[in-house]
Structure 1
Amino acid sequence: MTIVAEVVRSGFVESVHHGIVALTGRPGVGDTGSPFFPRSSNKPLQTVGMLRSGLVPREFADLAMASASHDGEPFHVERVTAMLAAAGLGPEALRCPADLPLGETAKRAYLRTGGEPAPVLMNCSGKHAGMLATCVANGWDLESYLDPKHPLQVALADAVSELAGEPIAAAGVDGCGAPVLAISPDALARAFLRLVEAAPGTPERQVADAMRARPELVAGPESEDTVLMRAVPGLLVKRGADGVSAAALPGVGGIAVKISDGSARARVPVLLAALRKLGVEPPLIEEPVLGGGRPVGEVRAVW
């Protein structure tokens, strides 16, 4: 396994991170052809499947919300609630687990009000709201919408496989309870590039355009996904748990990153390095190593 990042503290390399990086049309790093679980980086592909299955979004921006790993800010929760209401449903229809906001700022503010964990706060609730709205549009059962054999999940798996250009290698259960589908890093990078290079008005392009138009819905105001999509015109980015990220820029290429030990702090420097390999100069997003509450080092890409 290739070392893709190292942690430097006070001038000394204290640890390293191994990983895999797939780049469309260019040599990658590590075994980019073997399947893995992209976690939430699957979401935009699943949203394409929802559109192909008859989802009619209440608003264009709801497609960004359905593809999100949101921070749980009040505007995120309000939009998820509105998506459900437009389908004639309430938050009680959600089958994702109760949780607190993912974003630290949103979590602290919510806890100060005495708030308790709730499914609508869970970072995947937008995806679940989109899934439920798709079921309503088709008259499918709502109670079992997370079952891999449910017509919804069969349709979404078909969409992911078609976009990836390879069969689904395995189906697991993601943290939110929905199926997560294993494809290779090469396939993930290829699928993201398909989204941004699709013809305007197609389901693929609608999802990419919605995410790029409203990146604060996809994650949070200060997340790397939001910062990068705002800074680089046309760039699509979607992070996933356990050190995963995927990105694509039309006419340039697609990227898939997987940090082997699941480290989130190594993900961003490696993604920025991958963008530079494609000739894109991303904004500086620092990943400082702290000591005594102040920066004493950094996490840097080395591949």
Structure 2
Amino acid sequence: MNGTAETATPAVATAPPAREPAHVPLAHVVRGGLIEGVHHGSVVVLGADGSVEFQAGDIEAAFYPRSALKPVQAVGLLRAGLRLDGELLALTAASHSGEARHLAGARHILRRAGLTEDALRSVPDLPYGAEQREEWLRRGLGPSRLAQNCSGKHAAMLMTARARGWPLRDYTDPDHPLQRAIAGTVAELTGQEIAQVTIDGCGAPLFAVSLHGLTRAVAQLAAAAPDTPEGRVAHAVREHPEMASGTDRDVARLMRAVPGLLAKDGFEGVQVAALPDGRAIGVKIADGGDRARMPVAAAALARCGVAPEVLAGFASTPVIGGGMTVGTLRAAGALVGP
């Protein structure tokens, strides 16, 4: 929509098409010198000017970003009135492991809103981190709304709704003013209308966009001025990557390894990452297999100019046979070409 300089809003294209994505081979599982398995998917690499420098598969079909959309949703919450920074803002954009600091952070956000965990509408679950889940079970604990990996986002949604005087009980309803505000931010930053709305695993609304649009949005966060909502989210996640994920999670290690990188993973094989100058990558693994996500993302980041030695620990995973390494899972096809 056009207008004066004071009222102009960014252009938003029509929604991406809902179709069966034309994914292509992106990763090979090699055992004993033979290709044992192939992971298909789609990948996009954006230059600093936002242009598509590389693409494979179908980057324009509508898909669900899952938790990779959380940093964009966090921007929507800040715009709607959320007052958080630092590690608590990182937790707002997190798929956390359920560590003590994550649970304490979510409780802190709720206390600041004058609420308890009873107000959460996140689906009860066990902690996402394997170590945390085992300890949880050893203590005889069951599924909890607070332990669910999206509880930071849900607590921040409640805090925002309380600050605006909006209803709390139905804050996850797609027609709630909070969710409409978040949807508006998603459309603006991705540059396209939302193709479809459904419910994510945590119970909050999930918005379908394209892989290209999602990557474009994350690039804008990474390159934003520090005093903007976009820049505040990017800074919080970069400064507190373990709060936005968990101790020794691959996405946290990747952000520590690549200075200035903003990265977020999502269920069903989604990964986005962006450098401070706006170079960015987006990955979707077709079968949702998490094991292919990081090797493909590393190959895409190499196309952004990140040094191979920095990415060496992320570029492949060993294939084990009889307790020995007998192969590797690595990016393949055009992704690793010139």
User: 2:279 is matched with which residue?
Assistant: 253
> Which structure 2 residues correspond to residues 58-69 of structure 1 after superposition, within 5 A?
59-69=85-95
Distance 1:185 1:255 in 2: 9
Does the 8 Å CA contact 1:38/1:240 hold for their aligned counterparts? Answer: yes
Instruction: After superposition, give the CA deviation of every residue in 1:148-167 in whole Å (9 maximum; x if it has no partner).
Output: 00000000000011011111
Instruction: After superposition, give the CA deviation of every residue in 1:7-65 in whole Å (9 maximum; x if it has no partner).
Output: 112222111011100111212111111211000011000000000001111x4221100
Q: TM-score of the superposition, structure 1-length normalised?
A: 0.97
Q: Which residue of 40, 44, 54 maps to 1:22?
A: 44
**DSSP 3-state at the match of 1:218:** coil
User: 2:20 is matched with which residue?
Assistant: none
Q: TM-score of the superposition, structure 2-length normalised?
A: 0.87
> Which structure 2 residues correspond to residues 267-282 of structure 1 after superposition, within 5 A?
267-281=293-307, 282=310
> Which structure 2 residues correspond to residues 236-247 of structure 1 after superposition, within 5 A?
236-247=262-273
User: 1:144 is matched with which residue?
Assistant: 170
Q: Which residue of 60, 65, 75 maps to 1:48?
A: 75
Letter in 1 for 2:117: P
Q: Offset at 1:89? A: 0.6
Letter in 2 for 1:132: L
Distance 2:33 2:137 in 1: 38
Q: Which runs of no fewer than 5 residues in structure 2 stay unpaired? A: 1-22
Distance 1:237 1:134 in 2: 24
**DSSP 3-state at the match of 2:194:** coil
Query: Are the structure 2 counterparts of residues 293 and 91 from structure 1 closer, same or farther at C-alpha, using a change threshold of 3 Å?
Result: farther
Distance 1:108 1:44 in 2: 28
Letter in 1 for 2:59: T
Query: Are the structure 2 counterparts of residues 176 and 293 from structure 1 closer, same or farther at C-alpha, using a change threshold of 3 Å?
Result: farther
**DSSP 3-state at the match of 1:109:** helix
Q: Offset at 1:189? A: 1.0
Q: Which residue of 103, 114, 117 maps to 2:129?
A: 103
User: 1:37 is matched with which residue?
Assistant: 64
> Which structure 2 residues correspond to residues 72-221 of structure 1 after superposition, within 5 A?
72-221=98-247
Letter in 1 for 2:321: G
Q: Offset at 1:266? A: 0.5
Instruction: After superposition, give the CA deviation of every residue in 1:259-295 in whole Å (9 maximum; x if it has no partner).
Output: 0111100101000000001111243135222334443
**DSSP 3-state at the match of 2:167:** coil
Distance 1:214 1:131 in 2: 20
Distance 1:141 1:147 in 2: 10
Instruction: After superposition, give the CA deviation of every residue in 1:174-194 in whole Å (9 maximum; x if it has no partner).
Output: 000111111111111111110
User: 1:301 is matched with which residue?
Assistant: 331
Distance 1:117 1:66 in 2: 20
Q: Which runs of no fewer than 5 residues in structure 1 stay unpaired? A: none
Does the 8 Å CA contact 2:222/2:277 hold for their aligned counterparts? Answer: no
Distance 1:292 1:75 in 2: 38
| 126-135 or 288-297, larger mean C-alpha shift | 288-297
Distance 1:247 1:291 in 2: 32
